[in-house]
Amino acid sequence: MAGIWKILKSIVKFIQGLGTITIGFLVILVIAVALMGRKAEPKPSVPDGAVLVLWPNGAIVEQAQYPDPLESLFSKYRSTPPQTSVHDILRALKRAKDDKHIRALALITDSMSGAAQAHLHEIAAAIRDFKTSGKKVYALSTAYSQGGYLLAAQADKVYMNPAGSVLLTGFGSYPLYFKSFLDKIEANVHIFRVGTYKSAVEPFMRDDMSPAAKEANTAFLGALWSQYQASIVKARGLEPDALDKDVANMPSKMREAEGNFAELAVQNKLVDQLAPRATWRKALMAEYGADKSGLSFKQIRVEQYLAATDKPKKAGHDIAVITAQGEIVGGSGPISVTAAETVVGYIRNARHNPKTAAIVLRVDSPGGSVVASELIRQELAAAQAQGIPVIASMGPVAASGGYWICSTADQIWAEPSTITGSIGIFGMIPTFEKTLDKIGVHSDGVGTSPLADGYNITRAMNDETKDIIQQSIESGYREFLTHVAKGRKMSLKDVDKIAQGRVWIGTKAAELGLVDHLGGFDKAVEAAAEAAKVGKDYRVVFYRDKPNTLKQMVAQLFGSTIETDAPRTYGYSTSTSLSPVLNAAMKLKKEARMLANFNDPLGEYALCLTCEVR
């Protein structure tokens, strides 16, 4: 899509270059006429007795990026992966529960490419809450991933295509390790860290996972798997150890099912009925009536439902939601990363808004730059100094720098499956003097002090520089402990015992005092309103980037949208699952992107590389 925008911008520059007011006026007039000539799309309406269709597209995230409006016209140039906001899903389910026009919920996960455990559990809880209204829930997917099945299991009836499968494998953490590669190119990676369990640097100093990292990872992965199993067995009425037995006995059970994954899912009581699309579509038509086409059941998608039922809320106060999503980096950036200057700007705008009664910091971040993390924490502290309560709401991950920015909060809320802690920092500076020497490239010169070439990656790092950096890392760790101790009202000694870079899940973090309450985003918002003493007189305002003006205009011209990117044709989605080869390639790409985001001015990071579990 970048090429298309370059062409459009070139055209704009050409028009500007013509340099006449008349031609410029004519261009503006043509655009205005085109916009006025377009009929505004009517606001969708909710059919009486409809089935709400929840069909997440792409990855489920905190805040979805605005899709490029031209990508729908030039699909082969598509560069933005689809995303679905977890808050849109939760809002729709909560609203539909008591909506007399909605009679049931249909869930399809075939287009869902990934979701973190905390998001899945939060959606699963919302589905269970929807069912308390007496309305039925149907799972209708072709096949179920491990994440998708957590949602499907909450349904009253689980359909699956005879060609499908339910493959539950448990959770694992298998980072890539680069020491031998670095040795082969003779790169010197200088590691500075504090914390027995701070394993983020291990890929650069080992070829395997250390015993300490295995101990910590086994503990939190086991706890997450226990939570996952508990949700499934309760929803499906299975024995407590049913899933463990299914996984352990998979080869023999597959032989019993004659190698058929679909039959195995039925035998394991994970699926109620194997049926092609025509079968379940006909069943739902018989139960809920046909749509206008007469080809499917009466329905409305979540995106349409929200558009039809959204009503601006008038309130005297705002609960400002600031989202920290992705790695914490310096400078400005998109919603996919927690860019310090961008997030600080949102916080500043919120605290200078006279209507802001409280701030909810919503976090899904494994951390990153120490300096960037501290800038965000300082701005939150400035809001508190003004008398504005700050409530931290931890989503899937709030670890290392993600915990650092939460440390000043008046209250910290987390999901039971939130991955948090990892309180520790590290420094990492590679030098390539030996690599360059192998190809005949050398560095030499003079400086005014021994430190003049201290950070020169083409030269060996001297002992003075190493000593300074290690002292800085240890000071940074003490600062981290101090922020946590102050915010949690604990002693430095007690914080250090549960820090050391160790990763915890939400339930254990609550026991240790790193978290105040277990609960989702809505609970955190309610706590913020209570802390601000505004009762029910508030609205929730998400601070985020605004769509590019040019893209908005093009979207209007071509009838596209920058607000949703969901599947349009019900029942004929293309799965976004990746092959194992592509998964490995994407993992390498993600590792490279994370390294590219290492832009801390002091080379110091509070980052958890093993905290993503999907």
What DSSP character marks residue 165? Answer: -
Our CA angle for 15, 19, 22, nearest 5°, is 85
113 is annotated as an active-site residue: no
3-state secondary structure 449-482: CCCCCCCCCCCCCCHHHHHHHHHHHHHHHHHHHH
Taking the CB of residue 599, how many other CB atoms lie within 10 A of it? 16
Q: Could you tell me which residues are beta bridge partners of residue 505?
A: 419
* Full DSSP string of 500-512: TT-EEEHHHHHHH
What DSSP character marks residue 99? Answer: -
Q: Which of 97, 135, 136, 198 is catalytic?
A: 198
Question: Element (H or E) spanning 242, and its range?
Answer: helix 242-248
CB 605 within 8 Å of CB 401: yes
For 264, list phi and psi in degrees, rounded to 5: -60, -40
Q: Could you tell me which residues are beta bridge partners of residue 414?
A: 394, 518
Our CA angle for 177, 396, 613, nearest 5°, is 35
End-to-end CA distance of the chain: 29
Our CA angle for 218, 222, 225, nearest 5°, is 145
What DSSP character marks residue 246? Answer: H
9 is annotated as an active-site residue: no
Distance CA 281, CA 579 (A): 29
Residues 6+ positions from 166 with CB-CB distance below 8 Å = 143, 144, 149, 160, 261, 264, 265, 268, 270, 271
Question: Element (H or E) spanning 363, and its range?
Answer: strand 356-365
Task: Supply the residues annotated as catalytic.
Answer: 198, 400
